[in-house]
Amino acid sequence: MSIMDIMSIMNIMSIMDKMSIIDEMSIMDAMSIMRKVSIMNKMLIMHKVSIMNKMLIMHKVSIMDKMSIIIAIMSIFSKKCSITAIMSIISKKFR
């Protein structure tokens, strides 16, 4: 999936979903999310993390971190739509 695809997924999700994802993830994954959400959402998310994490979030992340964020997003999606829908999304992106 491209950054644009992840951005569009993040825009569909509510801020509460984004925060709950970040709570359940490592700081590396949280950094990945932060690069993909709007300024408004960044501000809200930033209230949830420590100063140390805020500094870490500012760093660039690797492809591996992007992959883990995709997995995290997909796991949230699985609660909201069928497995079939998720599979079709994934297959389109990786075709």
What mean pLDDT is predicted for residues 22-37? 61
Q: Does the pLDDT at position 40 exceed 60?
A: no
Q: Does the pLDDT at position 54 exceed 60?
A: no
CA atoms within 13 A on the CB side of 41: 20
Domain span at residue 65 reads 3-94
- Let me know the angle formed at the C-alpha of 53 by 66 and 9, rounded to the nearest 5 degrees: 35
Return d(Cα 50, Cα 42) in angstroms, integer.
14
Q: Does the pLDDT at position 55 exceed 50?
A: no
pTM: 0.22
pLDDT score for 78 = 54
User: How many domains is the chain partitioned into structurally?
Assistant: 1
pLDDT score for 8 = 64
**Per-residue confidence at 62, pLDDT binned at 50, 70, 90?**
low
Return d(Cα 27, Cα 49) in angstroms, integer.
9
